[in-house]
Amino acid sequence: MKKTLVLILTLAMLLSSMAAFAMTDGTYTGTADGRNGPVTVEVAIAGDAIESVSVIDHVETEGVGTLAVDAIPGAIVEAQSLGVDAVAGATLTSDAILAAVADCVAQAGGDVEALKAVEVAEKVPTKAETIETQLVVIGGGGAGMAAAIRARELGLDVVLLEKMAFMGGAISISGGNQVVSGSQMQKDLGVTDDSVESMVEDFMANGANLNVPELITLYATNVGETSDWLQSIGVTYNLEGGLHKLAEYSHDRELAYTGSGAGAAEAMRNIIAENGTKVLLNTRATELITENGAVTGVIANDDETVYTIKADAVLMATGGYGNNKDLLEGDMKNALYYGPVSSTGDGLIMATAIGADTRLLEYGKRYPNGIEVSEGIAKSTINGNIPAWTKSAILVNKEGVRVVNEKASNRTILETELQQTGQELFLVMDQETFDTWKGALGYDVDAYLELNGTATPVFGHGDTLAEAAEAAGIDAEALAKTVETYNGYVEAGEDAEFGRAADYMTMKIGDGPYYIVEQKPRFATTMGGLVIDEALEVINTDGAVIPGLFAAGEVVGGVMGDDSPSGANNGWAVTSGKLAAESIAAALSVDAAA
């Protein structure tokens, strides 16, 4: 009797499981929002199984989001599960594909939650391998790739470790702007009177004079040569777009990469693919190897293999720590984050474990122009804001009052924003300006518009200014007066309150519909990090060099002070990466003049 009962229960569980995965054969289409816009999939169901998954339409970033497009469909089919891991660095795209496939499963009558619960076996390394090289670069962002490229030019054997499925790091998802002070490109575009002293002065003012003088001078002295070098090897700049006019700079010294940050990263990846660098992707460095106080290599692993990499020099190019709240300090813990998921401070953790010193860990580069797309996570609106200022967009607070010159520096706008109710401002636009703003953003906002202020991100809109203000939760009566006053300034050709330049006050705020978009502080880049000297060597807590260990890029602290101006971080990444390679080549007695 007992055996019969067990058999009945087992059979019932089996039938229940079969019912959970029962689906109607057919081909289904589903769509979900990715990082840049809708992701559409086509799913074939046959015999109660997911036979195939194809992404048939998307606008995700090449070399980042496209990695999820390539990997997730096959993983779903192989595991017959909706519980597969997202591709590191492409989480939003991965989640969009999984959500779209889930929609298809639901259309087929399947149990989505049951498929999400199907466990995917975790891979554990079972092999061991030892590699010997002259230089191991930890991190494949802008600094790591620039270092690998220059080191190979100088004849070094190079192994590059990247814990993500792709090389690119922060530069690949940045707006793609870079300081080019002192470059031939800057001179060719008409600015011939910039100087090291001028750049240092501007950066010190922007960084509250907390910048390390030797490092900012090193940067300013070498960024021009680095920029021209990159241009010469195929990392090109948008010369037609010209130098950008920015409040932070006394001279025009910023250019955009061709194809934005993604274009620069792709160009560097292509060079590395041909130059003989040994690249290990999906491989995370976990520990530095030391002998008699010197760094002689690194331990790393992927899903299958634990690597012991013995090297004459190790370059830490691991990026920042913005995605690790345990390392963030002060106000940074509560700021919206929009940087790469890979910025978890691995380099800081490994280096401090052997005695490396750090500085300025409490600071990060905050911008005033973010929207909160999910709890604690932001997207930037800067690409839309820039052209919107040439039309009629203004910034107001929750009380409907204009409080700042919209063309002031990011630091000025941020400081003003932090003083407002809710530490936020709102972008106010008429239809013509909104169309320009939306077209320049680089991602789709239709889903946010549908919410019409009922949830974050706030995208209030209405046929009248009062309707839009009500949807956004700001004072309608005060806003009407603000708009009237601003339009009067446009007519007079002078901003009597905040001094917005006449070049950016050529249009009145016109007829509706009107749009009001939240603006919240966001950050991707951390300012603190490892202490280094002018040879990019890491310094320990006793003030001495740690032999064999170098650092470049965001993992270094002190270059920017407490804040970085536009284009600064990409410029420092590539400049310090190149300089580190040359310093290492010199230390290993390789001709750094090659």
The pLDDT tens digits for 31-58 are 998 877 889 999 999 988 999 999 999 9
11 pLDDT tier (thresholds 50, 70, 90): very low
- Provide the CA 201 distance to its chain's centre, in angstroms: 27
Residue 570 in contact with residue 554, Cβ under 8 Å? Answer: no
Structure token pair of residue 244: 């950008």
Please state, as a whole number, how many other Cβ atoms lie within 10 Å of the Cβ of residue 547.
16
* Among 570, 585, 527, 589, residue whose Cα is nearest residue 226: 570
- Residue 449: the pLDDT is 95
Structure token pair of residue 473: 């939760």
- Residue 61: the pLDDT is 76
Tell me, yes or no, if the two domains 127-177+245-363+527-587 and 369-522 fold the same way.
no
Q: What is the CATH number of domain 20-116?
A: 3.90.1010.20
Residue 373, H or E segment: strand 364-374
Q: What is the mean pLDDT of residues 158-165?
A: 95
444 pLDDT tier (thresholds 50, 70, 90): confident
21 pLDDT tier (thresholds 50, 70, 90): low
The answer on pLDDT for 588 being more than 50 is yes
* Among 418, 408, 399, residue whose Cα is nearest residue 335: 418
Torsions phi, psi of 344, nearest 5? -110, 10
HSE-CB at 63 with a 13 A cutoff on CA atoms is: 22
**What would the pLDDT profile of 476-495 be if each residue is shown by its tens digit?**
999 999 999 999 999 999 99
Distance CA 437, CA 440 (A): 5
Determine what percent of the chain is predicted with pLDDT higher than 70. Answer: 95
- Residue 332: the pLDDT is 86
The answer on pLDDT for 15 being more than 50 is no
Place of tokens 């995370």: 284
Please state, as a whole number, how many other Cβ atoms lie within 10 Å of the Cβ of residue 156.
22
Structure token pair of residue 280: 């290990």
The 3-state DSSP class for residue 422 equals: helix
Topology, domain 369-522: Flavocytochrome C3; Chain A, domain 1 (3.90.700)
Structure token pair of residue 43: 């799913």
Please name every residue paired with 315 in a beta bridge, in sequence order, or none if there are none: 137, 550
- Residue 17: the pLDDT is 42
Residue 327 CA: distances (Å) to CA of 333, 555, 564: 9, 13, 19
Q: What is the DSSP letter of 243?
A: P
Handedness of CA 452, 456, 459, 463 (dihedral sign): positive
Residue 153 CA: distances (Å) to CA of 158, 269, 312: 11, 15, 17
Greatest alpha-carbon span in the chain: 96
The answer on pLDDT for 8 being more than 90 is no
Domain boundaries, the chain: 20-116, 127-177+245-363+527-587, 369-522
The answer on pLDDT for 226 being more than 70 is yes
Which string of DSSP letters, residue by residue, matches 260-275?
HHHHHHHHHHHHHHHT
Architecture in CATH for domain 127-177+245-363+527-587: 3-Layer(bba) Sandwich (3.50)
Q: What is the mean pLDDT of residues 219-225?
A: 98
Distance CA 103, CA 112 (A): 8
The answer on pLDDT for 469 being more than 80 is yes
The answer on pLDDT for 590 being more than 80 is no
Residue count of the chain:
594
Measured at the alpha carbon of residue 238, what is the angle toward residues 561 and 405, in degrees to the nearest 5? 50
* Among 286, 325, 330, 292, residue whose Cα is nearest residue 309: 286
- Residue 591: the pLDDT is 54
- Residue 12: the pLDDT is 40
76 pLDDT tier (thresholds 50, 70, 90): very high
Please name every residue paired with 50 in a beta bridge, in sequence order, or none if there are none: 45
The mean of the pLDDT values for the chain is: 92
Q: What is the mean pLDDT of residues 298-322?
A: 97
The 3-state DSSP class for residue 29 equals: strand
Residue 64 in contact with residue 83, Cβ under 8 Å? Answer: no
